[in-house]
Amino acid sequence: MIERISSNDLMSQVTVWNNTAYLSGQVALDNREGDLAAQAREIFSRIESLLAEVGAGKSNLLAATIWLTDVADFPAFNDLWRAWIGTDAPPARATVRADLMLPGLRLEIQVVAAIP
For the chain, the distance separating the N- and C-terminal CA atoms, rounded to the nearest angstrom, is: 17
Domains annotated for the chain, with CATH where assigned, are 3-114 (3.30.1330.40)
What's the pTM value of the predicted model, to 2 decimals?
0.96
The pLDDT tens digits of the residues spanning 72-88 come to 999 999 999 999 999 89
Which uninterrupted H or E stretch holds 108?
A: strand 107-114
pLDDT (mean) for 90-107: 97
- pLDDT band at residue 24 using 50, 70 and 90 as cut-offs: very high
